Amino acid sequence: MNQPIRFAWEALGAHFGSTDLTGLSSSRRRFAPHLLPDLQSTIEAELAALSPRLFGIHQQHEFIAPKLSDLVISQGHHVVALTPLQYQDIDVGSHETYASLNNALWLFEAEGEPLAILLSQFFEPRGGQVVQVEIGFLPGGNAAAFARDILGRVQRAGEASRYYRGKILSFEPSAGYDGMHSAMRVHDLPAVAREDVILAPATMARLDAHVFEFDRHRAGLKRLGQSTRKGILLYGPPGTGKTHVIRYVAANLPGRTTILATAEQMPSIGRYIALARTLQPSIVVLEDVDLVGRAREEINSVKTETLLNRLLNEMDGLAPEADILFVLTTNRPEDIEEALASRPGRVDEAIEIPLPDAYCRRRLVSLYGRALAFADGAAARAVEASDGGSAAYVKEMVRRLAQRALARNGGNAVTLADVEAVFGDPGILSSRVNRRIVGLTERGRKPDPDQDDCCEA
């Protein structure tokens, strides 16, 4: 009766026909962890016709990269045991998951010669998680050429990254409630139709010209020797809809991959730009860029200036033909470093997303109150009373109108008295904090001669 194979060196010895594996050669490459589904699926597809044997291997320390040279050790404390295959579901978007292997060893033959592929994961102390693909073979035959060929196909699969192309991504861990683990988060943002973007016609025209028309003419621009790299800055007070505009752009440029980055993720900007290059045509969204890209005279720490320089260098390092659209947002455009905001090639156009005027507020009340029945004059009064408020303020006030209608058993009917009560609520106007929470600017504040602003909360 054959003894069961318990250790990696036993499996390799039986496969290569010798217990002396010191003559084994190997080639390996390292990849970013988010590419694991692309790498693993390519390996499986390449080996499907070769009837490989698949083993799990034990990894003693997650900060040490498992290598084929470790697997050939047959004595002492460092002998590597075989284990059951271990899978971890990875979110790849669109409600799909990919069952990734933690560590795996494939043994197979190509043209009569034995080969081995080791897929492993580990953590570098400063570099984070890494995925490694290593191919082992005996020198002197055709196996070396086969190994180079398959490594090349694996690398090209990583460069194509079909699992994430065209999706909305960020380097964020999951919340921990779905049981999945991934170096990348796939966002499932709601689709935003054009009629749901409430901006002045002139603002929409600029958005069309500098985003959508630019995108439609990319091929022609390349043919005429023009750059397809572009930077847009969206600026305006809080709550005016800059993030909403980003969702609209991402939803209506489905051919582009969207990559989201916030100020606290700026230390990893190199990873974001590298991913944008891999998945181009792409959109890179940098929200609240003033937190990192503020004027140098306002910077009071070496760390912040380092992040600013890193951002500028990464944007400068892209070739003109890079098919990347940068969308930056800020509430404080006056604080942005001039080298970032005033240099074509980094930011080519600044588009203000202002407080809504009466025309826009009328559309906002209609949009957010589409399930409500406004009495004569009620909607017009809501539009008038919301002067100076942001889109977020109008949205919240319409919700309070709906709540008040329900509280008096009025169903969906909103009266003029409801509007006066909600917009005249002293609780909203009593402090600067409350006004900021609902998105009401100082311009929209009703004067109160009895209130001393210097004592506000």
CATH of the domain at 378: 1.10.8.60
Q: Is 216 found in the same domain as 320?
A: yes
Determine the distance from the C-alpha atom of residue 15 to the mean position of all C-alpha atoms in its chain, rounded to a whole number.
Answer: 43
Residue 155 within any structural domain of the chain? yes
Long-range contacts, 335-338 (Cβ 8 Å, 24+) = 335/290, 335/294, 335/295, 335/298, 336/233, 336/289, 336/290, 336/293, 336/294, 336/295, 337/293, 337/294, 337/295, 337/296, 337/308, 338/295
Cα 403 to Cα 343, 373, 397, 410, 412: the distances in Å are 48, 13, 10, 10, 9
**219 exposure class (CB count in 10 Å sphere: 0-12, 13-18, 19+):** exposed
Q: Is the pLDDT of residue 454 over 50?
A: no
Angle 381-385-389 from CA coordinates, rounded to 5°: 135
| Amino acid identity at 143 | A
Q: Position of tokens 């990464």?
A: 314
Q: Is 427 found in the same domain as 451?
A: yes
Q: Is the pLDDT of residue 347 over 90?
A: no
Query: How many domains, the chain?
Result: 3
* Res 76: pLDDT: 84
For the chain, how long is the longest CA-to-CA vector?
Answer: 97
Q: Measure the N-to-C terminal CA separation of the chain; round to a whole number of Å.
A: 82
Q: What are 24-66's pLDDT values in tens digits?
A: 899 999 988 888 999 999 999 999 999 999 999 999 888 888 8
Q: Is 116 found in the same domain as 208?
A: no
Q: Is 147 found in the same domain as 13?
A: yes
Q: Is 200 found in the same domain as 149?
A: no
Q: What are 378-435's pLDDT values in tens digits?
A: 999 999 999 988 999 999 999 999 999 999 998 999 999 999 999 887 656 555 656 5
Q: Is 125 found in the same domain as 19?
A: yes
Q: Higher pLDDT residue, 183 or 388?
A: 388
User: pTM of the full predicted structure?
Assistant: 0.78
Residue 94 within any structural domain of the chain? yes
Q: What are 196-222's pLDDT values in tens digits?
A: 999 999 999 999 999 999 999 999 999
Q: Is 348 found in the same domain as 202?
A: yes
Q: Is 376 found in the same domain as 338?
A: no
Q: What are 274-302's pLDDT values in tens digits?
A: 888 888 899 999 888 877 765 556 555 66
Alpha helices by DSSP H, 317-389: 338-341, 358-368, 378-385
Question: Both tokens of residue 407?
Answer: 């509280």
Q: Is 414 found in the same domain as 341?
A: no
